[in-house]
Amino acid sequence: MNLSAKKRFMKELLQGIVNYTVDDLISFFLEDSPLSFLRAPAGYGKTACALAYLITESFAGNRGAIFFRTRAEVNQALRLLSRMISNLPRKTIDHLSVIPLVGKDFYCRYPPEKKSLVKWWCKIIHCNFLSRYRSQELMDLLSQNVYDSLKKYYNIARDLDLCPYYVYQRLSENADIVLTTHPYIIRQSFLNRIGERSIIIIDEAHNLLKSITVKISEREYAQGESLERTMHNQNIDQDRFLATLFYQRREKDLLILARYLKFQEEEGTIISERSHLIKIVPPIQIIDRLLSRSKVILMSSTLYPISLYKTLFANKRPVREHIIKGFIRSTSRRKLAILKSGITSKFNERGDKTFWRYTSIIKKIYDSIKENIIVFAPSKNFAEKLAKYIGAPILLEEPNRLMESLGISDLKDVPIIISVARSKLAEGIDLSYKGFTPRVLLVIGLPFPKITQEDRIIIQFYSKIYNIKEPLLRKSLSLSSMFSALIQTIGRIGRKKKVLLLSLTIEFLTLI
C-alpha cells in the first residue's frame, strides 16, 4: 500500500465513526518520524484514528500496539475497532489478529480476594489451568473475528477450557495489533511479552509523568526481609513458602511477604520518602527502550505544557508535534459554556465571601434552568465547605451509596450534588443512578494539586536526572496535573446525553 492508498483506507475505516474531517490526524499518523506527540481535544477522534492507523499498517505487515490508561479504555477501543472492521468486506479481515491484554486480576478464572496475591496465585492454589494456554481453535476464532468487549475475549477462552490470562499473553507475541494498558509499557519485562512492534502508541501519555511501579513502608520492608530470611533458612522455594503461609492461614505474613517480593522484583529506581520506599520509572527511560525498535507516538488531550513533555519524554531528542488548539470541544452531546464569574478559588481567597458568591451563582443557575447539577470543586476541603454553604450532599464514589445514606431512591430528588476533581467519580465511576444522570456539570475553580512529600521527592529526583531547577519543575508539573484533572473532570459528561457544561472560573479563561 502506498501513502495515498493508506489514507483512503483509513478514511474508509473511519466512516460513520468520526463524523467530520480528520485528514490532519490521518496525515499525522502516517508521517514517518521516530517520536511524535499529538495533543488534540477530548472527543476529537484521536483514538479512532490511532486504531484505524494500526489496522492499516497491519495490512502493510507492520505490527503495532496501543497502550491505554485503563481497562475500560481498552474495552472502548475494542468496540471502536470491531465497528471499523465491520465497515470492511469480510475477506479483508481474514487473518487480522487483535489481542486485548489486561491484568491477571481480570483474566484469571479464580482471582484471589486480596489483589496483592495475584502475582503468585496460580502457584499458591496449584491451578490446573496454568498449563492450558495452547489452542488452535482459539487462534482460528481470533483470526476471523474482532470481538467488541473484553468480557467476550474472556468468555471465549474460558469456554475452550483455557486460562484467559496465559493464553492471551502467549498469543499477543504474534498478534497484528495488541491493545493493552500502561503497566505493559512501564515495565520492560511486560513489554517483552508483546514481541517486536514497529509501532507503539501511548494514549493518555500524561499519566506516565510519574510512573510509580511499587511502594512499601520501611516497616513492612523490614518484616518482609525477615520472612525472606526464614524462607532461605528453611531452604524452601518462594512459591512453596507462600503456599505454606496461605494454607497455614498466616494471612498477615503472607501479604507482607507478597508485597516485599513484589517490591524486590518490580522495575524502577528506588527513592525514599519519609517512612516509605518507592520505585519509579522516569519517562525518558520508557521512551529510550522503545525508540531503538519502534516508531513511538504519544497522545493525549492534556500534553500541557508541551515543553515539559518534550523535556521529560524526549530529553533533547527531535520530536514531531501536532497540536490541535483547545482542550475540550463542544459536541452534539456536550455543550461547553464558560461563565466569567470573576471569582477565584485561590488558596488565600477561600474565605466566607468567596463561598457565598459561589453558592449564590450555583443556586441562581439551578433556579433558572431547573436541571440537576453536579458541581466539581478543586479539592475535598473546598467541596466540604461549599457543601455546607449550599446545603448539598457530597458524592465521591458510586451514587447508590449516597442515595442509600440519604434515604432517597431517585437521583432526581437531589438538585445539587458536590464532588471533587480527582475523586473516583471524576476519574470514571458511572455518574448515573438508576439510569438518571445530572445534565449539568459545573467545574468551579482550578484543581491545582496539593504538592505532597512524595511529589517533592520525585521532583528532586527528576531535577537531578534531567538537570532542571526544582522550582521550575514543580511549577510545570503542577500546571500539567491541574490541566489533566480539569480535562478529565469535564470529560465525564457528554458520553450518553446532551449536557451543558459551565466552568465558573476566570483563571481558566486566562490560561487557555
485: left (phi over 0), alpha (psi -120 to 50) or beta: alpha
Q: Which residue, 120 or 376, has its beta carbon nearer to ligand SF4?
A: 120
Q: Which residue, 9 or 166, has its beta carbon nearer to ligand SF4?
A: 166
130 touches ligand SF4 (CB under 6 A): yes
Q: Which residue, 165 or 366, has its beta carbon nearer to ligand SF4?
A: 165
168 touches ligand SF4 (CB under 6 A): no
**Nearest Cα residue to 280 out of 271, 268, 288:** 268
Q: Which residue, 167 or 411, has its beta carbon nearer to ligand SF4?
A: 167
C-alpha cell at 414: 437531589
CB 33, min distance to ligand SF4, A? 39
| Span near ligand SF4 by CB under 6 A; candidates 17-25, 37-45, 119-127, 169-177 | 119-127
CB 171, min distance to ligand SF4, A? 14
Which of 52, 80, 96, 163 forms a contact with ligand SF4 (CB under 6 A)? 163
Binding mask 53-92 for ligand SF4 (x = CB under 6 A): ----------------------------------------
CB 127, min distance to ligand SF4, A? 3
Residue 155: strand, helix, or coil: helix
Residues counted in the chain: 512
Q: Which residue, 122 or 314, has its beta carbon nearer to ligand SF4?
A: 122
Window 98 to 117, contacts with ligand SF4 (CB under 6 A)? 104, 108-110
Measuring CA to CA, how many Å separate 13 from each of 54, 217, 303, 369? Answer: 11, 50, 27, 41
**Cα angle for residues 65, 312, 326 (degrees, 5° grid):** 75
User: How many residues make contact with ligand SF4 (CB under 6 A)?
Assistant: 13
**Nearest Cα residue to 71 out of 150, 166, 171:** 150
The answer to whether 425 and 432 are in contact (CB under 8 A) is no
Burial class (CB in 10 A: 0-12, 13-18, 19+), 370: exposed
313 touches ligand SF4 (CB under 6 A): no
CB 245, min distance to ligand SF4, A? 17
Which of 165, 358, 462, 483 forms a contact with ligand SF4 (CB under 6 A)? 165
C-alpha cell at 429: 465511576
433 touches ligand SF4 (CB under 6 A): no
127 touches ligand SF4 (CB under 6 A): yes
Q: Residue 487, Cβ neighbours under 10 Å: how many?
A: 18
Q: Which residue, 190 or 483, has its beta carbon nearer to ligand SF4?
A: 190
**Strands, E, within 435-495: which ranges?**
440-444
Q: Which residues contact 136 (CB under 8 A, 6 or more apart)?
A: none
Q: Is the Cα torsion angle 216, 221, 227, 232 positive or negative in sign?
A: positive
129 touches ligand SF4 (CB under 6 A): yes
Q: Which residue, 110 or 356, has its beta carbon nearer to ligand SF4?
A: 110
Interface residue list for ligand SF4 (CB under 6 A)? 104, 108-110, 121-122, 125, 127, 129-130, 163, 165-166
